[in-house]
Structure 1
Amino acid sequence: MRVRELSRRTGVSVPTIKYYVREGLLPPGELTSPNQATYDETHERRLQLIRALLDVGGLKLAEITEVLAAVDDPARPLHKVLGAAADRLGTARSEHDDAASAVAHAAVADLISRRGWPAGESDPAAADLAKALAAMDRLGHGAFIEVLEDYADAAEQVARADLAYVGRLAAVENMVEGVVVGTVLGEAVFSALRRLAHADASAKLPGTDKPPERGTTA
C-alpha cells in the first residue's frame, strides 16, 4: 500500500509517518521509485503499536524508541524486554529525603524480601512504590502500608495473567510485542478495571443509595 493508504488505515498523518521513519521508529517502506515506497501490514501493526503506547500508555516518543529497540532485538531475553517496557512507566526519580521516605523505603524493602521478589531496593519500580507510599504518608495516609500485602497479592495474580497471555503467543515477535502490550497497555486496562471495581464496591456499602436499574426512573 502507498503511504496515504497506510495513513488512512491507521489514522496517523502522512507527515507523522514520515517523521517516524526518519526517527527510526518505523521501518522504511520498500522503494518502487526514487520518490515512492510501498508499505505492508507490518508497518500498519507497528504504527498501531506506536500510537497505543503514545495515546494509551502515555509514553513519550523517546521512551517509545527505547521500548521498540528492545522489541526489535532478537537476542534480548523476554524479561529484559519486560523491564524496558516497565521502566518507561516510572515516575520522576526526585523525591524528598525525610522520615516518610525512610519509612516507605524500609517497608518496600521488607515487602520485597518477604515476597522473595528478585528486585532490589534500587529497582525503578521499587523506588516508585516507595515514593508513592511516602507521598501518601505526608498526606496523612501512612496506614495504607497496612493493606500493601493485599495489593501485592493482587499484583502477583495480574502478573501471572500477563505472562500466561504472553505464553499463548506462538511467534517470537508476537510474544515480545505481547510483553510490551501487556505491561504498558495492561497498566491502563488494570487502572480502568480498578475504577469500575471501586464504583461497584462503594455502591454496595451499607447505607449507600443504589442507582436506579435500567428502564426505571429515580
Structure 2
Amino acid sequence: MRISELSRTGGVPIATIKFYLREGLLPPGQPTAANQAEYGEQHLRRLRLIRALVGIRGLSVGTAKEILAAVSENVDDTHQMLGLVIGARPVDKEKGEKEAEAEAGDDPLAEGLAEVDELLERTGWEVSEHAPAKRVIAETLTTLRSLGADVDWRTLLPYAELAGRTAVLDLDQLRDADDPLEQAERALVLTVLLEPVLLALRRLAQESESARRHGG
C-alpha cells in the first residue's frame, strides 16, 4: 500500500507518518521510485501500536521509541512484549535494578514493598521484581496507614483475587490475535481504555449494594 492508504487505514495523518519514519519509530517501506515506497501489513500494525502508545497511553515519542525497540527485541516472547507495552515490566531492566539498589537503604516505601511481596507470595503471582505497580500499591498502603486506616496486605487479598479473574478475561481477549504486534496493540487498548470502565462498574455496584443493604 502507498503512504496515503497507510494513512487512511491506520487513521494517522501522512505528515505524522513521515515524522514517525524520520524518528525511526516506523521502519521504512520498500522503495518503488525516487520518492515513493510500498508499505505492508506489518507497517500498519506497528503504526497502530505507535498510535496506541502515544495517543492512548500518553507516552512521549522518545519513550514510545524505546518501548518499540524493546518490543522488537522480544517479538517472539509474548509475555515480555505485553509487559513492556502495558507498562507492567520496565523497558530498561538494568536501569530498574540500579535504581532499586540506590533506594534500598532509605526507601520510604520499604515496609510497603515488603507487604506487597507478602501479597504476591500468597496469590502465587509471577511478576517482575521491579514492576512499577508494586510501588503504586506500596505507596497506597503507606498513605492509608498515615491517615489512620487499619489496612495491610491482607486487606487487599480479596481484591487481588478479583483482579486475577479480571486478568483472565483480559488475556482471553487476545486469543484470536495471532500477530504479536496486533496482540500488543489490543492489550494496550484494553488495559488503558477499560480501566475507567472497571472503576465505573465498581461505583455502580457500590450504589446497588448500598441500596440492597440500606435502601427503603
Deviation readout 1:89-129 (Å, 9 max, x if unpaired): 88xx899944xx34422221111122223336544332332
TM-score when scaled to structure 1? 0.73
- Structure 2: 5+ residue runs without aligned partners? 91-98
**Selected match of 1:111 from 80, 95, 119:** 119
Name 2:62's counterpart in structure 1. 62
Give 1:191 shift: 1.2
Deviation readout 1:71-104 (Å, 9 max, x if unpaired): 43366422221332243688xx899944xx3442
RMSD between aligned alpha carbons?
Answer: 3.3
Would the alpha carbon gap of residues 118 and 199 (structure 1) be closer, same or farther in structure 2, given more than 3 Å must change? closer
Deviation readout 1:40-93 (Å, 9 max, x if unpaired): 443233222211222222233233223323443366422221332243688xx8
Give 1:20 shift: 0.8
**Selected match of 1:166 from 153, 169, 174:** 174
Give 1:148 shift: 0.8
Name 1:201's counterpart in structure 2. 205
Alpha-carbon separation, structure 2, partners of 1:89 and 1:59: 15
Matches within 5 A, 1:81-92: 81-87=81-87
Alpha-carbon separation, structure 1, partners of 2:215 and 2:86: 38
- Structure 1: 5+ residue runs without aligned partners? 210-218
Would the alpha carbon gap of residues 76 and 139 (structure 1) be closer, same or farther in structure 2, given more than 3 Å must change? farther
Give 1:152 shift: 0.9
Would the alpha carbon gap of residues 116 and 67 (structure 1) be closer, same or farther in structure 2, given more than 3 Å must change? same
Give 1:140 shift: 4.7
Asked whether the equivalents of residues 4 and 14 of structure 2 are also in contact (C-alpha less than 8 Å), the reply is yes
Q: How many residues align?
A: 202
Give 1:197 shift: 1.0
TM-score when scaled to structure 2? 0.73
Alpha-carbon separation, structure 1, partners of 2:175 and 2:7: 32
Name 1:78's counterpart in structure 2. 78
Name 2:192's counterpart in structure 1. 188
Asked whether the equivalents of residues 120 and 126 of structure 1 are also in contact (C-alpha less than 8 Å), the reply is no
